[in-house]
A and B are shown apart, each in its own frame.
Chain A
Amino acid sequence: QKEVEQDPGPLSVPEGAIVSLNCTYSNSAFQYFMWYRQYSRKGPELLMYTYSSGNKEDGRFTAQVDKSSKYISLFIRDSQPSDSATYLCAMTSGTYKYIFGTGTRLKVLA
């Protein structure tokens, strides 16, 4: 079993929809959780960073962490065609080792 599981998609939604992206993990030592967006042939770009359980909101993006279920989510409100990209979750226990999910490919249709 992989330490971090993420549905690869692709996920296609109409413009304006609310998108829900998720990751599950097995290592209870993970404390710091990140979401990255990666456009085709570009480097990952940090979107959200959360520590431990709870919610964090930034504009149209909301990150949720449920440590009891070992489950993290990223919600995108009012999705735009420019949100079409691969979304990667990442986590670490506080060392310099980060574990990434395999990424979910999102397509927002105009």
Chain B
Amino acid sequence: DTAVSQTPKYLVTQMGNDKSIKCEQNLGHDTMYWYKQDSKKFLKIMFSYNNKELIINETVPNRFSPKSPDKAHLNLHINSLELGDSAVYFCASSQADSYEQYFGPGTRLTVT
């Protein structure tokens, strides 16, 4: 049983397109996150959601819009994709009173 799952695993698209990545966790956690990992493996937080409410937005361009329909899901929609958006995007989750995060397998986004 996958704890944190993401779809799709790979995404290849052209500049200017709009795409979405989906994340689901079955751990019963109430906090979810999106991270971006660049080609040098640097992992940077983008958003944190607690109980479907946005609590951290790390100066991410407005083209990125997260949406949490319920506590188990956190989706990421990206408008007008740019070359610099190419990276691996990870979803993670944790309990609100714990700092132990569990990561999904990642979505490798390539913008051409």
B43 touches A88 (CB 8 A): yes
With a cutoff of 8 Å between Cβ atoms, the chain A residues found around residue B31 in the complex are: 96
- Given the complex of chains A and B, what is the CA–CA distance between A100 and B33 in angstroms? 14
Contact partner of A102 among B42, B56, B99, B108, CB < 8 A?
B42
A contacts, CB < 8 Å to B? 8, 32, 34, 36, 38, 41-46, 49, 86, 88, 90, 92, 94-100, 102-103
Give me the 5 closest cross-chain CB pairs, A-B, nearest first: A43-B103, A96-B48, A100-B43, A32-B99, A103-B41
Count B-side interface residues using an 8 Å CB cutoff.
25
With a cutoff of 8 Å between Cβ atoms, the chain A residues found around residue B56 in the complex are: 95-97
Could you list 12 A-B pairs, sorted by A, with CB under 8 Å?
Answer: A8-B41, A34-B99, A43-B103, A90-B43, A92-B99, A95-B56, A96-B48, A96-B50, A97-B45, A97-B48, A103-B42, A103-B43
With a cutoff of 8 Å between Cβ atoms, the chain B residues found around residue A46 in the complex are: 100-102
Contact partner of B33 among A38, A96, A99, CB < 8 A?
A96
- Given the complex of chains A and B, what is the CA–CA distance between A99 and B101 in angstroms? 12
- Given the complex of chains A and B, what is the CA–CA distance between A99 and B99 in angstroms? 12
Interface residues of B in 89-112 (CB under 8 A from A): 90, 92, 99-106, 108
With a cutoff of 8 Å between Cβ atoms, the chain B residues found around residue A97 in the complex are: 45, 48, 56, 58
- Given the complex of chains A and B, what is the CA–CA distance between A41 and B105 in angstroms? 8
Chain A nearest CB: distance from B76 CB in Å? 15
